[in-house]
Structure 1
Amino acid sequence: MFKKGRDRETQGYGDWVRAFEAERERRARRGDPAWERGARLPPSLVRSLQRFQVGEDGDGAELLGKAARAGDAQYTAAAHLFVAEEQNHARLLALLLEAGGARTLESHWSDTVFVRLRRLLGLRLELLVLMVAEAVALRYYRALRDGGADPLLREVAGRILADEERHVPFHCRRLREGFARVPRPARYAVTGGWRLLLAGAAVLVAVDHGAALRRCGVTRSVFVRDIVASSAVMAAVIAGRDVTFAAPAVGTGQHGYPQVA
């Protein structure tokens, strides 16, 4: 996802807005998966998907309110489009569960804790906590896409994963800007603490969803190890190492990831 390069840093979030809009149009042209073919989902995967569906659901009002108060109209527009993609993930997972003969959950304790933590302070903390979920989601949906036995499950997971791979650099960029004026030692302390929080969350998810992960060929230890390893470059980006941002390539299926020099 992150690689070396010398691309110029994008000024403003106009390119991100256009990229989100282009993806929305591409998604509309593509249409939904063929739900009518149904899905064969073992109980462990049903329970796991139900909990992730709850986490994807929500109106994003808290995040959007903080984005608006930050005073960047382009970023706020991009944040609205990001929230719409997350809501679409919740819709896809709900329809996948329905195709498998299962219902969604009204709530789950893990999502309640996560939401309350995000609402404690301002936009930076909101995004740091959100990035914990995004980093976990990257590995989770990759496991389902690559190791799921059901074709519909793999297709839905692949669609969501493609979105998450764009969301991570989008949030990394905003966090990097948000911490740009914070002294370097403090930035490193924040990102170090974030990595510890992420590691703890990865362990909890691995324990809670271990049976589903094993169904997809991923052990708990591999799941946690991969998430912790991936967090190193994310933390480096947020902390402000020598990074430039290529503009998202609109309409090409390629994404504007941070380029770590």
Structure 2
Amino acid sequence: MAASEFAAWVRDFATERDRRAAGADPDWESGAVLSPAVRASIQRFQLGEDGDGANLIAKADAAGDPHYTAAVRLFEDEEHNHARLLARLLEAGGATTSAGHWSDTVFARMRRAVGLHAELLLLMVAEVVALRYYRALRDGTEDPLTSEVARRILADEERHIPFHCARLHASIAQLPRAARRPVLAGWRMLLLGAGLVVAADHGRALRELGVGRGRFLADVAGSAGPVVAAIVGTDPPRVPAELAEPAAAARPPHPHPHPRSGYRLRPRA
């Protein structure tokens, strides 16, 4: 992939950073009402958003494209902001962040143990699961502050999917043709496994948010096809429709919408 395309991603992330800096934070003083199940669920997702990203940045730097490294740094800044937003939400609800959880520990160790391409595949698992989770949190809660925080995070996650697809498209293209199908089949299995873990671990919260375990898992598994199509290049990178489009009317329009779908497929050159 040409460096100029990642330069466009740098501008895209920088634009979002500047927009975020110019805007106001959610109204933390309004407080939040979090049930025990939803509170525990948010605590676990906050842990996942709170990684330092140093290993990914180092791997991106070793890949030799300074534009991609800069974009990854800005991506990690957004992830850190998600952790901050969730921590403030917990504080507004009278709760604290969690010291740790086994699923986050396992995921972090897996990411550290592999190279850039494999780590991106793992990240895509987390991002796709997160899309469905934050949509459930945004649309299923009756607490305005929780819904606002989830909306902000979801808007970022919807941009992260095509960003990672863009890099993975170039990575998969470098593999022998016979190896591509097994790699992507393995990714589908990882996605299904992660969906099962989240559905089991967050089942009570998901039910309170109006999404049963089965529906959550079906939506996550159903998103694999569009993501794989984007990675191999048969479809342009986009947010899987199964995860984003049903609630589009409830979300303010993105500043750079695609003319047909309403979702941006890639940054402006």
TM-score (norm 2): 0.87
Equivalent position of 1:113 in the other structure:
106
Tell me whether 1:252 sits opposite 2:230 in the alignment: no
Equivalent position of 1:4 in the other structure:
none
The answer as to whether partners of 2:10 and 2:67 remain within 8 angstroms in 1 is: yes
Equivalent position of 1:241 in the other structure:
233
Post-superposition Cα deviations, 1:199-222, rounded to whole Å, max 9, x if no partner, equal: 011011001001111111000000
The answer as to whether partners of 1:192 and 1:235 remain within 8 angstroms in 2 is: no
CA–CA separation in structure 2 for the residues paired with 1:132 and 1:164:
12
Post-superposition Cα deviations, 1:56-102, rounded to whole Å, max 9, x if no partner, equal: 00210000000000000000000000000000000000000000000
Structure 2 gaps, min length 5: 239-253, 258-262
CA–CA separation in structure 2 for the residues paired with 1:232 and 1:242:
11
Give the letter for the 1:46 counterpart: R
Equivalent position of 2:193 in the other structure:
200
Post-superposition Cα deviations, 1:97-130, rounded to whole Å, max 9, x if no partner, equal: 0000000012111000001111122100111111
Deviation at 1:143, TM superposition (A): 0.3
Which has the higher mean CA deviation after the structures are superposed, 107-116 or 11-20? Answer: 11-20
* Identical amino acids, percent of aligned pairs: 57
Which has the higher mean CA deviation after the structures are superposed, 154-163 or 117-126? Answer: 117-126
The answer as to whether partners of 1:94 and 1:103 remain within 8 angstroms in 2 is: yes
Tell me whether 1:176 sits opposite 2:169 in the alignment: yes
Length, aligned pairs only: 245
Which of 114, 123, 144 aligns to 2:137? It is 144
Tell me whether 1:86 sits opposite 2:83 in the alignment: no
Give the letter for the 1:257 counterpart: L
Deviation at 1:12, TM superposition (A): 2.5
* C-alpha distance 184-241 of structure 1, shift in aligned 2 (>3 A): farther
Deviation at 1:234, TM superposition (A): 0.6
Deviation at 1:134, TM superposition (A): 0.3
Post-superposition Cα deviations, 1:126-173, rounded to whole Å, max 9, x if no partner, equal: 111111110100000000111111000000000000000000110011
Equivalent position of 1:228 in the other structure:
221
Equivalent position of 1:127 in the other structure:
120
TM-score (norm 1): 0.90
CA–CA separation in structure 2 for the residues paired with 1:241 and 1:94:
37
Secondary structure of the residue aligned to 2:223 is: helix
* C-alpha distance 245-201 of structure 1, shift in aligned 2 (>3 A): closer
* C-alpha distance 244-197 of structure 1, shift in aligned 2 (>3 A): closer
Secondary structure of the residue aligned to 2:175 is: coil
Give the letter for the 2:265 counterpart: Y
Equivalent position of 1:66 in the other structure:
59
CA–CA separation in structure 1 for the residues paired with 2:92 and 2:225:
38
Deviation at 1:185, TM superposition (A): 2.6
Secondary structure of the residue aligned to 2:113 is: coil
Secondary structure of the residue aligned to 2:100 is: coil
* C-alpha distance 220-10 of structure 1, shift in aligned 2 (>3 A): farther
Give the letter for the 1:84 counterpart: D
Structure 1 gaps, min length 5: 1-8
The answer as to whether partners of 1:10 and 1:245 remain within 8 angstroms in 2 is: no
Which of 69, 73, 83 aligns to 1:76? It is 69
Secondary structure of the residue aligned to 2:123 is: helix
Q: Which structure has more RCO (C-alpha within 8 Å, separation ≥ 6)? A: 1
